[in-house]
Amino acid sequence: MATVLRWGIISTGSIAGVFVKDLLVDPKTRDVHDVVHKVAAVASRSVEKAQEFINKNAGGDPAVKAYGTYEEVYADQDVDAIYIATPHTLHHDNALDAIRAKKHVLCEKPVTSNASELRALLAAAKENGVFFMEAMWTRFQPLPQAVMKLLEGGELGAPVVLHADLSGNFDIHNIPKTHRILDPVLGGGAILDLGPYPLVWAIMALYENPLNKFTPPSNISASILKTPLTGVDANTSFTLTFPKIAAQAILSCSINLAASSPGVTIRCEKGAIHVAAPIYRPTSFKVEYFGANSKVVREEEKSFEYVGHGMHFEADEVARCIRDGKSESASWGHNKSLLEMAVFDEVRKQGGYTLPAGVEKVVWPN
Ligand SMILES: NC(=O)C1=CN([C@@H]2O[C@H](COP(=O)(O)OP(=O)(O)OC[C@H]3O[C@@H](n4cnc5c(N)ncnc54)[C@H](OP(=O)(O)O)[C@@H]3O)[C@@H](O)[C@H]2O)C=CC1
Ligand SMILES: O=C1OC[C@@H](O)[C@H](O)[C@H]1O
């Protein structure tokens, strides 16, 4: 018998719609038979919006409850886990409310505004005995897992330099300054919104490399160009050095440029892997194998297809962890989110990007 996980959805924004549609994809289409997902309730700041969202993304299913406050979904006894998809700077408060109501939580990336907020949430999750995970969906998709397996297999030798970029052209001169990508109150800018993706590739390929033994980067160097429109970071680059495996990650993100492809290149001693954009849900990659003098002697292309957008893989992980009584995922556990937030704190510190007073609910260092 498959385990049924009953979800409560917080917010009716664009990614919440994609997530709900993925929850409703039949798990058998991805050869999953042990867990299934049920959308039990949707909460918005307006009950009409919640109902419209259900009509649009869940076929108007009358079994899905529409709420006009987030508190109602936290209190609903028919909800097991909450998916939080509000703007970044609201994640801490929304997740804390859910945790205090003893709900398991899957919280969109970036999990919080800073590492101190995350530490506070993890303490609350422990105290309340609930599962907590950042929605780092890329980590659970088939292609990144195949790339990790290839790197671990050793045929390409050790990874030496990883390049990863995620850019998106948000048309920043023509959108309102209150748009979440531009508004510092909502944690706007490239690093918090797009930065998680180049970073997750560095974590998967370098930090999680078995020879690295989860040794954190010894050095983080960052540079930020802010937009005069609102002062959020428009173009950010950062490098991480992993001394244990003598490897470096060169990472970048921009909100005023289209994505380039390949978005990730992993250069190893005996070959290279090129991952086609978009790096948050890639569907193809190319492997080059080097011969003498590092000349490419063989190339292979791999592609991946599945029904849905790819957010259901992380949802399956949440369902299995909760079924098994776990407090965190082994694949994207608390330490990896903590590393991510520590890197972003450092990048913002070096680049001089501070959020307005009061936006961060717990302020570093704590
Ligand atoms: N995993 C992924 O691929 C993606 C993840 N994300 C992440 O998801 C989060 C939401 O992004 P996205 O869906 O694009 O955002 P949207 O702006 O589309 O939606 C955010 C929703 O949050 C709710 N909300 C609550 N308070 C506020 C507020 N003060 N200002 C604005 N909205 C508010 C609103 O829903 P309501 O009115 O119903 O309460 C709103 O619709 C971000 O943290 C982002 O990083 C975003 C895109 C892709
Ligand atoms: O998570 C995300 O992935 C895709 C981007 O376009 C989006 O802004 C971001 O939040």
Residues 189-203: tens digit of each pLDDT: 999 999 999 999 999
- Please give the number of the atom of ligand 1 that sits closest to the Cα of 49: 38
Please indicate whether residue 188, judged by its CB atom, sits closer than 6 Å to ligand 1: no
Using most ligand atoms within 8 A of CB, pick from 15, 111, 175 the residue to mutate for ligand 2: 15
ipTM over 0.95: yes
Pocket of ligand 2, beta carbon within 6 A: 168, 193, 280
- Please give the number of the atom of ligand 1 that sits closest to the Cα of 44: 38
pLDDT of residue 320: 98
Q: Residue 205: how many CA atoms within 13 Å on its side-chain side? A: 36
Q: State how far the Cα of 46 lies from the Cα of 203, in Å rounded to an integer.
A: 38
DSSP labels, 245-268:
GTEEEEEEEESBS---SS-EEEEE
For range 260-276, the mean pLDDT: 97
For range 76-83, the mean pLDDT: 98
pLDDT of residue 108: 99
Q: What is residue 168's three-state secondary structure?
A: coil
- Please give the number of the atom of ligand 1 that sits closest to the Cα of 311: 1
Pairing of strands 159-167, 247-254: parallel
- Residues annotated catalytic, as ranges: 109
> Residue 341 is encoded by which pair of tokens?
């937030």
Q: Compute the mean pLDDT over every residue in the chain, rounded to the nearest whole number.
A: 98
Residue 191: closest CA among 308, 139, 113: 113
Per-residue pLDDT tens over the stretch 46-71: 999 999 999 999 999 999 999 999 99
Q: State how far the Cα of 364 lies from the Cα of 366, in Å rounded to an integer.
A: 5
What percent of the chain is predicted at pLDDT more than 70? 99
From the CA of 90, how far away is ligand 1's center (Å)?
9
Residue 99: closest CA among 117, 81, 116, 111: 81
From the CA of 312, how far away is ligand 2's center (Å)?
16
Q: Which ligand is nearest to the CA of 190?
A: 2
Q: What is residue 13's three-state secondary structure?
A: coil
Q: Does residue 131 register a pLDDT over 90?
A: yes
For range 330-337, the mean pLDDT: 98
Confidence of residue 303 (pLDDT cuts 50, 70, 90): very high
Confidence of residue 75 (pLDDT cuts 50, 70, 90): very high
From the CA of 134, how far away is ligand 2's center (Å)?
14
List strand residue ranges (DSSP E) for the chain, in order: 3-10, 35-43, 65-67, 81-84, 104-107, 132-134, 159-167, 219-226, 233-242, 247-254, 264-268, 271-275, 284-290, 296-303
Q: Which helix (H) or strand (E) holds 47?
A: helix 47-57
Please indicate whether residue 107, judged by its CB atom, sits closer than 6 Å to ligand 1: no
For range 137-161, the mean pLDDT: 98
Q: Does residue 153 register a pLDDT over 80?
A: yes
pLDDT of residue 281: 98
Q: Does residue 365 register a pLDDT over 80?
A: no
From the CA of 10, how far away is ligand 1's center (Å)?
9
**Complete domains list, the chain, with CATH:** 3-138+311-332 (3.40.50.720), 142-303+340-351 (3.30.360.10)
Q: Does residue 187 register a pLDDT over 60?
A: yes
Residue nearest to atom 10 of ligand 2 (CA): 193
From the CA of 210, how far away is ligand 1's center (Å)?
35
Q: Does residue 41 register a pLDDT over 80?
A: yes
Please indicate whether residue 167, judged by its CB atom, sits closer than 6 Å to ligand 1: no
For range 329-343, the mean pLDDT: 98
Per-residue pLDDT tens over the stretch 316-332: 999 999 999 999 999 99
Confidence of residue 364 (pLDDT cuts 50, 70, 90): low
